[in-house]
């Protein structure tokens, strides 16, 4: 019988990798809290129409990549491919957006039927930040500064911020017509995807990865040249705000996003250390989305970052999670010692909530238990036999250099301590 394996593109995350995931999420939660953003938790399943209406029916995500099925009632449901549409739906459903300002963040898995590769999976994870009810460039500056601080707090360096403006809907419509007219003159030389998008979603041609298409686009009209006066003033104020904060950026007039709801500000944090998967955080303005999904006109701006790509960057730059090794492993000899060890361990956990302590289970000779203790990564073995229980003591054996006492000592050193002295000994480990 064949053994079961995970579905292609759906990956298990195992220790010790989970320690780095937990570290990343803890840093992100503290960073979001520093800016007053509250967490929103969203369902994995939504009605398919939510994404078709918000993302755009002629986008690659809706056309090719969504996991969509009919449930038993005949409703078309989709595993969420991104978080913004769900956030807007939740905000409207629970009355969070009308005549209010909201700063929200989310984290969790998303799903797209893409070709799996490093940093791009069919189940992937995102962190996202979104701000609603604020129309000025000051909130654009804040949302980008938040993303910059998150990268710094994670220790990630070497990123490049690319910036563009898509302008107003009217400016985009005029630019779209000019771009289509230009591309039609070169249609035969465009790559197949760009030819398909030419009349359905021509702005996405600007994002083509084809070198031949990019060479053609060097002579194409740019969005920045087509900006209306209000969008230009907004974009200039954004640039000034970033300069005031010392956040370096590069203007990229070819930068567009793969979701139809974006307008005005768009940006990406990119890296050259992950091969083709160079974008690690991206976002912008989507002032029309709330109204598009049935709400009142509400300005909005936000971004999302791929957790897997952040982790790949952290590993590439040698960033490790804080030490999560077991502090101590309790070995027992005898029935009375086993029962006493469980009581002692609970008392120690009550006193030291940060203590990571394993009590041996399943019996075994002392040599076998000490091997388990060593494999666990524990710094100390606490050996408790019936004699120690009777005397109210415990043998403390160092398993790692530097843990035998307050000064550096070799592993293997062993001492006997009364139970009353054990908390002081363990406190030294927690302070190390």
Domain shared by 161 and 252, yes or no: yes
**pLDDT score, position 26:** 97
- Of 82, 426, 76, which is closest to residue 259 (Cα–Cα)? 82
Alpha helix locations (H) across 35-167? 48-55, 60, 84-93, 137-154
Domain shared by 126 and 149, yes or no: yes
What does the alpha-carbon distance between residue 84 and residue 163 come to, in Å, rounded to a whole number? 20
Give bridge partners of residue 279 from the DSSP assignment: 270
Domain shared by 273 and 421, yes or no: no
What does the alpha-carbon distance between residue 206 and residue 300 come to, in Å, rounded to a whole number? 24
Average pLDDT over residues 393-410: 70
Domain boundary, last residue among 316, 346, 374: 316
Q: Is the pLDDT of residue 133 over 70?
A: yes
Q: Environment class of residue 254 by beta-carbon count within 10 Å: exposed (0-12), middle (13-18) or buried (19+)?
A: middle
What does the alpha-carbon distance between residue 251 and residue 293 come to, in Å, rounded to a whole number? 31
Q: Is the dihedral of CA 247, 248, 250, 255 positive or negative?
A: negative
Q: Is the pLDDT of residue 408 over 50?
A: no
pLDDT in tens, 27-54: 999 999 999 999 999 999 999 999 988 8
pLDDT band per the 50, 70, 90 thresholds, residue 163: very high
Q: Is the pLDDT of residue 417 over 80?
A: yes
* 422 domain-assigned: yes
Domain shared by 289 and 380, yes or no: no
Q: What is the CATH number of the domain that holds 351?
A: 3.40.50.800
Domain shared by 155 and 239, yes or no: yes
Alpha helix locations (H) across 246-296? 289-292
Alpha helix locations (H) across 365-421? 366-375, 386-391
Q: Is the pLDDT of residue 168 over 60?
A: yes
* 179 domain-assigned: no
pLDDT band per the 50, 70, 90 thresholds, residue 407: very low
**Torsion on CA atoms 119, 120, 122, 124, rounded to nearest 10:** 50
Average pLDDT over residues 238-245: 98
Domain shared by 301 and 346, yes or no: no
Helix (H) or strand (E) holding 358: strand 357-359
Domain boundary, last residue among 316, 341, 356: 316
Domain shared by 312 and 395, yes or no: no
Average pLDDT over residues 52-63: 75
**pLDDT score, position 38:** 98
List all residues 6 or more positions away from 170 whose beta carbon is below 8 Å from its beta carbon.
228
Give the angle subtended at the CA of 5 by the CAs of 2 and 9, to the nearest 5°.
145
**pLDDT score, position 95:** 97
Domain shared by 103 and 33, yes or no: yes
Domain shared by 332 and 310, yes or no: no
Domain shared by 265 and 332, yes or no: no
Whether the CB-CB separation of 162 and 255 falls below 8 Å is answered with yes
- Two structure tokens written together for 320: 């490790």
**pLDDT score, position 432:** 63
**pLDDT score, position 410:** 52
pLDDT in tens, 182-233: 999 998 899 998 988 888 888 888 878 899 999 998 998 888 888 999 999 9
What are phi and psi for residue 88, nearest 5 degrees? -65, -45
Q: List C-alpha distances in Å: 178 to 131, 157, 166, 223, 392.
A: 32, 38, 14, 10, 86
**pLDDT score, position 406:** 43
Among 26-35, 228-237, 262-271, 408-417, the range scoring the smallest mean pLDDT is: 408-417
What does the alpha-carbon distance between residue 413 and residue 378 come to, in Å, rounded to a whole number? 14
**pLDDT score, position 59:** 67
Which carries the bigger pLDDT value, residue 209 or residue 399? 399
Domain shared by 78 and 118, yes or no: yes
**pLDDT score, position 117:** 83
For the chain, the domain total comes to 2
* 308 domain-assigned: yes
pLDDT in tens, 301-354: 999 999 999 999 999 999 999 888 899 999 999 999 999 999 999 999 999 999
**pLDDT score, position 57:** 65
Average pLDDT over residues 233-256: 96
**pLDDT score, position 409:** 44
Domain shared by 250 and 386, yes or no: no
| DSSP code for 120 | B
Q: What is the mean pLDDT of the chain?
A: 92
Range of the domain at 389: 328-431
Whether the CB-CB separation of 279 and 273 falls below 8 Å is answered with no
């Amino acid at each position: 019988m064949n053994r079961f394996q995970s579905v292609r593109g759906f990956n298990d995350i195992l220790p010790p990798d989970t320690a780095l995931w937990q570290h990343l999420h803890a840093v992100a939660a503290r960073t979001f809290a520093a800016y007053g953003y509250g967490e929103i938790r969203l369902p994995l399943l939504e009605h398919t129409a939510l994404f078709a209406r918000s993302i755009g029916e002629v986008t690659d995500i809706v056309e090719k990549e969504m996991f969509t099925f009919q449930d038993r009632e005949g409703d078309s449901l989709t595993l969420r491919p991104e978080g913004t549409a769900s956030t807007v739906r939740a905000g409207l459903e629970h009355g969070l957006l009308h005549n209010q300002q909201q700063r929200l963040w989310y984290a969790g898995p998303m799903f797209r039927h893409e070709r799996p590769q490093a940093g791009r999976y069919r189940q992937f994870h995102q962190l996202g930040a979104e701000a609603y009810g604020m129309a000025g460039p000051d909130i654009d500056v804040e949302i980008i500064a938040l993303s910059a601080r998150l990268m710094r707090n994670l220790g990630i360096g070497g990123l490049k911020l690319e910036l563009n403006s898509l302008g107003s809907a009217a400016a985009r419509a005029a630019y779209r017509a000019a771009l289509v007219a230009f591309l039609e003159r070169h249609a035969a030389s465009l790559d197949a995807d760009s030819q398909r998008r030419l009349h359905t979603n021509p702005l996405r041609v600007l994002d083509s990865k084809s070198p031949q298409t990019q060479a053609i686009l060097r002579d194409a009209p740019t969005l920045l040249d087509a900006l209306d006066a209000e969008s230009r003033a907004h974009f200039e104020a954004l640039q000034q705000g970033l300069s005031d904060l010392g956040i370096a950026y590069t203007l990229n007039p070819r930068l567009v996003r793969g979701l139809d709801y974006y307008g005005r500000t768009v940006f990406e944090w990119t890296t050259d250390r992950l091969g083709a998967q160079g974008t690690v955080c991206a976002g912008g303005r989507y002032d029309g989305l709330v109204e598009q999904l049935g709400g009142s006109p509400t300005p909005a701006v936000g971004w999302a970052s791929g957790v897997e790509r952040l982790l790949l960057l952290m590993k590439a730059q040698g960033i490790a999670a804080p030490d999560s090794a077991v502090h101590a492993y309790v070995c027992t000899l005898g029935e009375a010692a086993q029962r006493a060890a469980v009581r002692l361990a609970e008392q120690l956990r009550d006193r030291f909530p940060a203590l990571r302590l394993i009590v041996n289970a399943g019996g075994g000779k002392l040599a076998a238990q000490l091997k388990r203790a060593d494999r666990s990564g524990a710094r100390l073995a606490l050996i408790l036999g019936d004699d120690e229980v009777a005397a109210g003591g415990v043998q403390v054996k160092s398993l790692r250099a530097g843990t035998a006492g307050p000064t550096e000592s070799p592993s293997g050193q062993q001492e006997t301590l009364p139970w009353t002295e054990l908390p002081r000994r363990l406190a030294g480990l927690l302070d190390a």
